[in-house]
Amino acid sequence: MLDAAIGSGRHERPCVFEAFARRLPDGRRYGIVAGTGRLLELIEQFRFGDDELSFLQQNKVVSSGTIDWLADYRFTGKIAGYREGDVYFPGSPVLIVEGTFAEAVLLETLTLSVLNYDSAVASAASRMVTAADSRPVVEMGSRRTGERSAVASARAAYIAGFTATSNLEAGRQWGVPTMGTAAHSFTLLHDSEEEAFQAQVDAFGPSTTLLVDTYDVETAVNLAVKVAGTELGAVRIDSGDLAVQVATVRAQLDSLGATNTRITVTNDLDEHAIAALRAAPVNSYGVGTSVVTGSGHPAAGMVYKLVAHHNDAGQWVSVAKKSTAKATIGGHKAAMRTLEGGIASTELIYQAVDGRPDVEGRELIVDLVNDGVADARWLGREGTRAARDHREQALAELPENAFRLSRGEPVVPTLYR
């Protein structure tokens, strides 16, 4: 497209692109925006180096004139959108990219790959946090996704309310709190379960978490308290009928005097399994596969569409698709969430040129990039923590039925004005 647009002379037309989701995953009532901070950093770094240009040239992907253009590429336009951690609904203009066609069209795949994955993870993670009912949830899914996605998913889950991750790179790069426990292989390495527990307690002290289901849970709990004492920090259970197992282990720990020892459970949990354990004496949860795969919806379904451009007279022209079931609404948009008594009632999307409607609500669009430079507020560790805080504030605006795990329609309707 870039090569052909340069050929037609239209590549320098000022344009507005918009990233949005036509719908939420089936049965979901809201989505969480995540990935914005990552995306802004990636856009600032997005360049075509000698290796990339040589590949394009040798494979005749584009013309030599386009290769020369790409050699000097950097995004110099403007980006606005929803704050990371905010709630979104069908049609919400999550990201608005302004620049020349050439500059902006190159960002489509990068934008969608980041927002679709991170938002899918955060949306699922938020449901898990709700199901956990204030008990900590830890992200442990690095082994169930790609090596780069593992870091992204840890960050997205943290924004959505998870308390920590087992992924150390997410801790180093994004400041996500890290924690972990021993695996079964550590127990199997030693000549006895007691020897394995002793080695772990010697290394980390009695506040550590001991894995108690390698062989026999009852025997292991007795050994764990014998080795660590009644100040044992926690035990982890990774198999079996968790509701029954947890109740049995809690009673056993209490009988041994380890009344403050916590119980953490793992074993292929998702939001529904977590909710089913709400009445059990579980202290924390570890979630792997389900969170990094969006709990069955690994992509948020966002698209990146051209909604406006300059004509030859330098005037803005709205453009939109009319495709069956894929029609879009043109124009440079803004959005606000109308509120009734502090609770969201509609997602109101309007043409920016018409000005803000005179209704009570919260403006949703913030500046993210100006003249190609990202706003530092949304970047790095500080931006990640700010997104986590904002997610909590955004959820507080939603009606109570937003947090039901049963299938339902988006809890707030999208209206265009």
Does residue 48 belong to any structural domain of this protein? yes
Question: Which pLDDT value is given to residue 326?
Answer: 87
Nearest to 330 by CA among 4, 96, 113, 102: 96
What CATH number is associated with residue 383? 3.20.140.10
337 pLDDT exceeds 90? yes
Any domain includes 408? no
Residue 184 within a domain: yes
- Residue 19 class from Cβ within 10 Å (0-12 exposed, 13-18 middle, 19+ buried)? buried
- Confidence class of residue 325 from pLDDT cuts 50, 70 and 90? confident
232 vs 87: CA distance, rounded Å: 40
Do 10 and 94 share a structural domain?
Answer: yes
CB 5 within 8 A of CB 11: yes
Residue-number span of the structural domain to which 245 is assigned: 133-294
What pLDDT does residue 324 have?
Answer: 86
Rounded to an integer, the average pLDDT of 225-238 is 98
117 lies in the same domain as 10: yes
| Together in a domain, 68 and 26 | yes
The domain that holds 210 is classified in CATH as 3.20.20.70
In this predicted model, what pLDDT tens digit does every residue of 313-324 receive, in sequence order?
Answer: 999 999 998 988
- Amino acid letter at 394? A
Query: 218 and 334 share a domain?
Result: no
Looking at the structure, tell me whether residues 55 and 93 fall in a common domain: yes
233/92 same-domain check: no
Give how many domains the chain has, as a whole number.
2
Q: Are residues 283 and 225 in the same domain?
A: yes
Mean pLDDT of 223-227: 98
223 band by pLDDT with thresholds 50, 70 and 90: very high
User: Is 246 found in the same domain as 337?
Assistant: no
Q: Per the domain annotation, does 380 fall within a domain? A: yes
What average pLDDT is seen over the chain?
97
Please identify which residue in the block is written with the tokens 């792997």.
Answer: 288
Q: Within this chain, do residues 283 and 240 fall inside the same structural domain, yes or no? A: yes
Instruction: Establish if 417 belongs to a structural domain.
Output: no
Residues 240 and 349 in one domain: no
Distances (CA, A) of 231 to 79, 141, 223, 237: 52, 29, 13, 18
Task: Please report, for residues 106, 243, 250, 370, the alpha-carbon distance to residue 380 in angstroms, rounded to integers and kept in the order given.
Answer: 24, 39, 40, 18
Residue ending a domain, choose from 274, 294, 314: 294
pLDDT in tens, 107-130: 999 999 999 999 999 999 999 999
Two tokens at 210? Answer: 């001991």
In a domain, 353, yes or no: yes
Q: Longest Cα pair distance anywhere in the chain, in angstroms?
A: 82
CA atoms within 13 A on the CB side of 414: 21
Co-location of 282 and 315 in the same domain: no
Residues 6 or more apart from 324 whose CB is under 8 A from it?
A: none
pLDDT > 90? residue 20? yes
Q: What is the pLDDT of residues 156-177, one digit of tens each?
A: 999 999 999 999 999 999 999 9
In a domain, 343, yes or no: yes
Give pLDDT, residue 327: 87
Helix (H, G, I), strand (E, B) or coil at 323: coil
Residues 22-55 have pLDDT tens digits of 999 988 999 999 999 999 999 999 999 999 999 9
**415 within some domain:** no
**The pLDDT value given to residue 145:** 96
Tens of pLDDT along 74-111? 999 999 999 999 999 999 999 999 999 999 999 999 99
pLDDT tier for residue 182 given thresholds of 50, 70 and 90: very high
Residues 149, 243, single domain; the answer is: yes
